[in-house]
Amino acid sequence: MDSIGPVGLQQGEGAPCYPQESLPCPSDSSELVQECLRQFKVTGAQLRQIQASLLSSMEQALGGQVSPASAVRMLPTYVGSTPHGTEQGDFLVLELGATGASLRILWVTLTGTEGHRMEPRSQEFVIPQEVMLGPGQQSTLISWTKGFRCSGVEGQDVVQLLRDAIQRQGAYSIDVVAVVNDTVGTMMGCEPGVGPCEVGLVVDTGTNACYMEEARHVAVLDEDRGRVCVSVEWGSFGDDGALGPVLTTFDCALDRESLNPGAQRFEKMIGGLYLGELVRLVLAHLAQCGVLFGGCTSPALLSRGSILLEHVAEMEDPSAGAARVHTILQDLGLSPGASDVELVQHVCAAVCMRAAQLCAAALAAVLSHLQHSREQQTLQITVATGGRVFERQPRFLSILQETVMFLAPECDVSFIPSLDGGGRGVAMVTAVAARLAAHRRLLEETLAPFRLNREQLAAVQAQMREAMTKGLRGEASSLRMLPTYVRATPDGSERGDFLALDLGGTNFRVLLVRVATGGVQITNQVYSIPECVAQGSGQQLFDHIVDCIVDFQQKQGLSGQSLPLGFTFSFPCRQLGLDQGILLNWTKGFNASDCEGQDVVCLLREAIGRRKAVELNVVAIVNDTVGTMMSCGYEDPHCEVGLIVGTGTNACYMEELRNVAGVAGDSGHMCINMEWGAFGDDGSLGVLSTCFDARVDQASINPGKQRFEKMISGMYLGEIVRHILLHLTSLGVLFRGQQTQCLQTRDIFKTKFLSEIESDSLALRQVRAILEDLGLPLTSDDALMVLEVCQAVSQRAAQLCGAGVAAVVEKIRENRGLEELTVSVGVDGTLYKLHPHFSSLVAATVRELAPRCVVTFLQSEDGSGKGAALVTAVACRLAQTACV
Ligand code: G6P
Ligand code: BGC
C-alpha cells in the first residue's frame, strides 16, 4: 500500500512534501514533472495519520470539546431512524447545492411496499450567478461552502427562510417537514447491503459523510437512548493545520484564490469543485516552466474554473484515449503534443488518486469509530455513496474501497450507490419522520391506560382501605383479611433447632434453622416441584414434599429426630389456629386436586403417615408475607408489615385484635394476611383494567381471580408486555408489522426480561440481544419502544403496589391514633429484588399517598422459611412459659 501512486509513474521514496510558497524550477524537465507528481503522493503512514487525527477530532467534537478551528463539526441531524420499507405518501424535495449551481425539485411517491418503487419526477433549474452571490432571502446555516455565498443567510434557520419565501409567493400549501444534509439523503435512500445502511458518503462538488451514532455519545444532545444521524462535516478537517504534511503548493494556491480562504481545506483536496482547479494549477505551472505545451499557456489555462470535474474525469479515464484529451486541451486554447497528452493524464490520475485515498482515510476513521463504539469484532455495514465524483469516475470508488480495506481491515463494508442523487433519501427522511410520529401516537395511545395519575392511585388506596375494613368485619369484600394467629414478633429469647418448609415461590425449600444466642443459622436445600406435580393430585404433591423432607433429614443427619416444624405455605388459608390452615384456593401456577377446602397441615400429616419412617411435629403454618415480616422483625422491632412481590403478591400487617371479627379477645395485636392479590375480584378495579389485563386473565388457570396480583406480580407482567407487543405489531408499529410465532407463544416473555431490559447498566444493544434471542427481528426504534412498554407496565405495577402499602400503613397509623407513624416493611420476592426501579417507585408512591408515615423498606435476606421457624420458636417459647 505504501507504494500507491499515480498510475504508470515510478514513485520516489515518498519524501514528505511540505507546502512551499514558490516551486523550485529544476533544470531537468523530467525531474520537474516527477517533483510535481510526487507532491500528490500520500504514503500509507500519512493516511493512517490522517485517519487517527480525524478520529480524535470526531471524538472530541462528539464529546462537546470545541477546539478553535478543530476541523470536524459532528452535527446531530435529528434523524433518528433509518427506513422500514413501509413508508408511504407523496413528498416534494428541493435539492440545493447538490449539483452545483442548480436547484433540483423532485416529486417522490413512496408506496409502502418493499420492492415496489415508483420513479420520482424531477426538474432542474439553473441558479444564476447573481442569485448565488446575492442577498439570501431565499436550518441554521453555519457557513456556506462550495461556491455559494448569499448574504444574510449564515446563522439563520433555513427552514424558516423557506417558509417565509413560500408565504411571499402565496397560493401554495407546502409543509416544510425536514431540512436534510445531502449525505443524510444519500444514506436514507439506500437499500441495505451486507449490513444495515448506516453511513452516507458524498463526493460531489464538496465532500462529507454522515452515520448513525448512539445518541448518548453526542454530548450536545440531552438524550441517552436511541441513535441519531450525525453529519461529520469533514470538509473543514485540517483547517487547524493538521493536513500540513500532505498539502501541496497547488493546494495552497487554490485555497488562496478561493471564496473562503483557510476554510474547508480537506474538501478542497477531494471535492469535485476543486479537482479541475488543482489540475489546472499544475498544468499552468508546468507550462510556465516550459515542460508542457512547448512552454505556452493560454488565457483559458490561466483562468480560474476553466477545467471542470468532467474534463478531469474524462482525461483521467485510461479508456478515453488520447484523442479526447487532445480535444479538451485544444478547447482550452492549447496545442498539445503526444507527450503532453500522456503527461496531462498522469497529472489527472495523481490528483484523483490522492482525493480517493484521502476520502478513504476519513471514511476509515468513521468506520473504526463505529466498530469500537459498537464493540463489534467485525463491523458489517453498508455505505451509501453519492455525488458526481462517484458517477463520473469509476476508479474513484475502486481506489476508495482498496484503501478502506487497508486502513480498516476489521470492517466488512459494502458500497451501494444512492438512487436519484439522494433525493429519494430526503423524501425518506420526511417519510420516516411521519411514520415515527404516527407510531409514537399509537404507542402513546396504547400505553396511556397504564399511566396512572395521583387521583387514580389515591382512589385505589381508598378502595383498598374500604375493602380492608369490610374484610376485617367479615362483610363481603375482595380482601379476605385472614387472621394468622401470630400475635407477637420475636423478642430475642427464642432458642432451639427447627425444621422449616417453604412452598409457593419460585423455589421449594427445606431448611434447618438453629436459633441460638449468637443469632440464627440456616442450612437449606432447594427442591424442584415439577409442573405436573403442582397441577397433579394433592396426594402426589404432599408425598413429594415428604420425600424431599426425608432426603433433607438424611443428608443433614437428622433422621429419627422430631424437630418442631414451621411450614411457609404461600397460598390463601383460613387459619383456625397456628397449626391449622384450610386452603381456600390455589393461586399462581398451582392447581393440585383435592386440596382446596382441606387443612393443609392435615394433608401434610397424612403424607407423613403414608411414609411411616418419619416423624414430624408441625407447629405452625405461615404465609410467606408473615414469614418475611417475622424474619425482618427479628432484626428490626418496627417491622410490622410483610410484603411479597414475586411470582405472586400479597401483604400482611399487625392489626388491633379488637378490629378482627371472629377471633376472641379485644386487646393486643394479630397479624392479618390480607391476600391482596384478590383485591378487585369483585370488579372494583374494572376502570383500571386494560384489554391486555383481560387477555392475560382469560388465558390464566384461574380467570376472574387474583386481578390485583395479575396487574403486579412476576408471574404476569411478562405476559402483559407480550400482549401489548402483539397489539403494536398488529398496528405495524413494531417489528415492521411482522407477527412472529415466538411472540404468539405464551410465557415466552419472562418477567426477568423486564428487569434486564430496564436495567440502566445495560445499553440498548443488550436489549436488542435479549429480543433477538427470542427471534424478534428488531430495529433500534423497536428496542426503544419495547423498553417503553416494559417501563409502563412495571411502573403501573409498582405504583399499584405502593397504593396498597399506603393503605396499610395509614390504617396502622389511624388504629393507633398517631399523628405520625414510623414503621418498617419487610419485603421479599424476585420482582421486587431484581427489578432496577420497582422498589424506588413503590417507596415514592407511598411517600406521596401516605405523607404522615415514615416507612422503611427492609429486604428479607433469608427468605420466609426463617420467619416460619421463628414463628415456631415463639410458639414453643410461649408454650414452655405456659407450662412453667
Ligand atoms: C420468599 C419465600 C418464598 C416466597 C418468595 C416470593 O422469600 O421464601 O416462599 O414465596 O419469597 O418470591 P418468589 O419471587 O420466589 O415468588
Ligand atoms: C398468594 C399469597 C402469597 C402471594 C405471594 C399469592 O398468590 O395467594 O398467599 O402470599 O402469592 O407469594
Higher pLDDT pick, 141 / 248:
248
pLDDT confidence of residue 751: 85
Indicate if the pLDDT at residue 478 is higher than 90.
yes
642 lines ligand 2 (CB under 6 A): no
Alpha-carbon distance values, 519 to 334, 515, 634, 866 (Å): 104, 6, 10, 12
Give the position, in ligand 2's atom list, of the atom nearest the Cα of 573: 9
From 621, 675, 711, 832, give the residue whose CB has the most ligand 2 atoms within 8 Å, as the site to mutate: 675
Indicate if the pLDDT at residue 483 is higher than 70.
yes
Indicate if the pLDDT at residue 8 is higher than 70.
no
Give the position, in ligand 1's atom list, of the atom nearest the Cα of 503: 9
700 lines ligand 2 (CB under 6 A): no
Alpha-carbon distance values, 424 to 146, 342, 384, 430 (Å): 22, 40, 13, 10
Higher pLDDT pick, 128 / 496:
496
For the CA of 706, the nearest ligand? 2
CA dihedral of 183, 186, 188, 192, whole degrees rounded to 10: -120
pLDDT confidence of residue 5: 32
How far, in Å, is the centroid of ligand 1 from the Cα of 703? 23
How far, in Å, is the centroid of ligand 1 from the Cα of 503? 8
231 is a catalytic site residue:
no
Higher pLDDT pick, 608 / 8:
608
Q: What is the pLDDT of residues 717-761, one digit of tens each?
A: 999 999 999 999 999 999 888 888 888 999 888 888 888 888 866
pLDDT confidence of residue 191: 72
Question: How many distinct helices (H) and strands (E) make up the chain?
Answer: 29, 22
480 lines ligand 2 (CB under 6 A): no
Query: What's the rounded mean pLDDT across residues 208-218?
Result: 91
Locate 127 and state its grid cell.
441558479
Q: Where are the alpha helices (DSSP H) in 337-453?
A: 338-373, 388-392, 394-407, 423-447
Nearest to 682 by CA among 708, 647, 712, 651: 708
How far, in Å, is the centroid of ligand 1 from the Cα of 203? 63
Query: What's the rounded mean pLDDT across residues 375-398?
Result: 91
Locate 83 and state its grid cell.
427506513
DSSP strand pairing (496-503 vs 564-569): parallel
Q: What is the pLDDT of residues 268-307, one digit of tens each?
A: 999 999 999 999 999 999 999 999 999 999 999 999 999 9
pLDDT confidence of residue 104: 73
One of 509, 722, 796, 813 is an active-site residue; which one? 509
From 481, 507, 569, 571, give the residue whose CB has the most ligand 2 atoms within 8 Å, as the site to mutate: 571
Helix (H, G, I), strand (E, B) or coil at 105: strand
Q: What is the pLDDT of residues 447-459, one digit of tens each?
A: 999 999 999 999 9
pLDDT confidence of residue 719: 97
Radius of gyration of the chain (CA): 38
How many Å apart are CA 209 and CA 72, to the nearest integer?
Answer: 11
Higher pLDDT pick, 773 / 650:
650
Q: What is the pLDDT of residues 666-691, one digit of tens each?
A: 889 999 999 999 999 999 898 999 99
pLDDT confidence of residue 4: 34
The confidence band for 1, taking pLDDT boundaries of 50, 70 and 90, is very low
Indicate if the pLDDT at residue 611 is higher than 90.
no
One of 624, 681, 697, 862 is an active-site residue; which one? 624
Higher pLDDT pick, 783 / 649:
649
% pLDDT > 70, the chain: 86
The confidence band for 78, taking pLDDT boundaries of 50, 70 and 90, is confident
Indicate if the pLDDT at residue 97 is higher than 70.
no
Indicate if the pLDDT at residue 138 is higher than 50.
no
- What is the pTM for the complete model shown? 0.75
Q: How many CA atoms lie within 13 A of 408 on its CB side?
A: 30
C-beta of residue 751 within 8 angstroms of C-beta of residue 714: yes
Indicate if the pLDDT at residue 172 is higher than 70.
no
How far, in Å, is the centroid of ligand 1 from the Cα of 647? 7
One of 81, 478, 570, 755 is an active-site residue; which one? 570
Q: What is the pLDDT of residues 515-537, one digit of tens each?
A: 888 788 999 999 999 989 999 99
Indicate if the pLDDT at residue 254 is higher than 60.
yes
Q: What is the pLDDT of residues 751-766, one digit of tens each?
A: 888 888 888 666 566 6
572 lines ligand 2 (CB under 6 A): yes
C-beta of residue 611 within 8 angstroms of C-beta of residue 546: yes
Nearest CA to ligand 2 atom 12: 648
DSSP assignments along 131-191, one per residue? HHHSB----BB----TT---BT-BTSBHHHHHHHHHHHH-S----------HHHHHHHTPP
C-beta of residue 829 within 8 angstroms of C-beta of residue 714: yes
Query: What's the rounded mean pLDDT across residues 313-321?
Result: 84
Query: What's the rounded mean pLDDT across residues 708-718?
Result: 97
pLDDT confidence of residue 700: 94
Higher pLDDT pick, 709 / 4:
709
pLDDT confidence of residue 544: 94
How far, in Å, is the centroid of ligand 2 from the Cα of 238? 68
Indicate if the pLDDT at residue 331 is higher than 60.
yes
Lowest mean pLDDT among 213-227, 523-537, 645-659: 213-227
How many Å apart are CA 289 and CA 634, to the nearest integer?
Answer: 99
Map grid coordinates 400505553 to a residue: 447
End-to-end CA distance of the chain: 98
How far, in Å, is the centroid of ligand 1 from the Cα of 879? 29
How many Å apart are CA 425 and CA 162, to the nearest integer?
Answer: 20
Nearest to 624 by CA among 600, 599, 649: 649
Q: How confident is the prediction for the chain on average, in pLDDT?
A: 86
Indicate if the pLDDT at residue 651 is higher than 80.
yes
The confidence band for 312, taking pLDDT boundaries of 50, 70 and 90, is very high
Indicate if the pLDDT at residue 13 is higher than 50.
no
Indicate if the pLDDT at residue 594 is higher than 90.
yes
Give the position, in ligand 1's atom list, of the atom nearest the Cα of 833: 14
DSSP assignments along 309-329, one per residue? HHHHHHHH-GGG-HHHHHHHH
570 is a catalytic site residue:
yes
Indicate if the pLDDT at residue 156 is higher than 80.
no
For the CA of 828, the nearest ligand? 1
CB under 8 Å, gap of 24 or more: what pairs does 99-103 form?
99/124, 99/204, 99/205, 99/388, 99/421, 100/146, 100/147, 100/205, 100/273, 101/126, 101/127, 101/129, 101/132, 101/147, 102/126, 102/127, 103/127
Best-predicted range by mean pLDDT among 90-94, 211-215, 838-842?
Answer: 838-842
The confidence band for 151, taking pLDDT boundaries of 50, 70 and 90, is low
Nearest CA to ligand 1 atom 14: 646
pLDDT confidence of residue 7: 29
587 lines ligand 2 (CB under 6 A): yes
pLDDT confidence of residue 53: 93
pLDDT confidence of residue 22: 43
Nearest CA to ligand 1 atom 3: 505
pLDDT confidence of residue 547: 92
From 596, 624, 697, give the residue whose CB has the most ligand 2 atoms within 8 Å, as the site to mutate: 624
How far, in Å, is the centroid of ligand 1 from the Cα of 502? 8
Give the position, in ligand 1's atom list, of the atom nearest the Cα of 506: 15
Query: What's the rounded mean pLDDT across residues 558-586?
Result: 92
Lowest mean pLDDT among 181-190, 344-353, 841-850: 181-190
Best-predicted range by mean pLDDT among 166-180, 436-450, 761-775?
Answer: 436-450
The confidence band for 130, taking pLDDT boundaries of 50, 70 and 90, is low
The confidence band for 182, taking pLDDT boundaries of 50, 70 and 90, is confident
Map grid coordinates 485510461 to a residue: 318
CA 782 distance to own-chain centroid: 9
Sequence-distant (6+) residues with CB within 8 A of 595 are 538, 541, 583, 586, 603
How far, in Å, is the centroid of ligand 1 from the Cα of 863? 7
Indicate if the pLDDT at residue 10 is higher than 70.
no
Residues with CB under 6 A from ligand 1: 502, 504-506, 568, 570, 624, 644, 646-647, 714, 828-830, 860, 863-865
For residue 101, the tally of other CB atoms under 10 A from its CB is 15
C-beta of residue 269 within 8 angstroms of C-beta of residue 17: no
Lowest mean pLDDT among 105-109, 183-187, 213-217: 105-109
624 lines ligand 2 (CB under 6 A): yes
For the CA of 717, the nearest ligand? 1
State the DSSP code for 688.
G
C-beta of residue 735 within 8 angstroms of C-beta of residue 778: yes
Provide the angle, in degrees to the nearest 10, between the axes of the packed helices 394-407 and 338-373.
40
840 is a catalytic site residue:
no
Instruction: Please give, one letter per residue, the 3-state secondary structure of 763-804.
Output: CHHHHHHHHHHCCCCCCHHHHHHHHHHHHHHHHHHHHHHHHH
C-beta of residue 678 within 8 angstroms of C-beta of residue 705: yes
How far, in Å, is the centroid of ligand 2 from the Cα of 505? 8
Query: What's the rounded mean pLDDT across residues 161-188?
Result: 68
pLDDT confidence of residue 737: 87
For residue 694, the tally of other CB atoms under 10 A from its CB is 15
The confidence band for 179, taking pLDDT boundaries of 50, 70 and 90, is low
Indicate if the pLDDT at residue 106 is higher than 80.
no
Lowest mean pLDDT among 483-487, 557-561, 794-798, 868-872: 557-561
How far, in Å, is the centroid of ligand 2 from the Cα of 876? 26
Provide the angle, in degrees to the nearest 10, between the axes of the packed helices 764-773 and 751-758.
160
For the CA of 522, the nearest ligand? 1
Lowest mean pLDDT among 41-55, 58-72, 280-294, 832-846: 58-72
How many Å apart are CA 167 and CA 92, to the nearest integer?
Answer: 17
Indicate if the pLDDT at residue 803 is higher than 80.
yes
Query: What's the rounded mean pLDDT across residues 380-386?
Result: 93
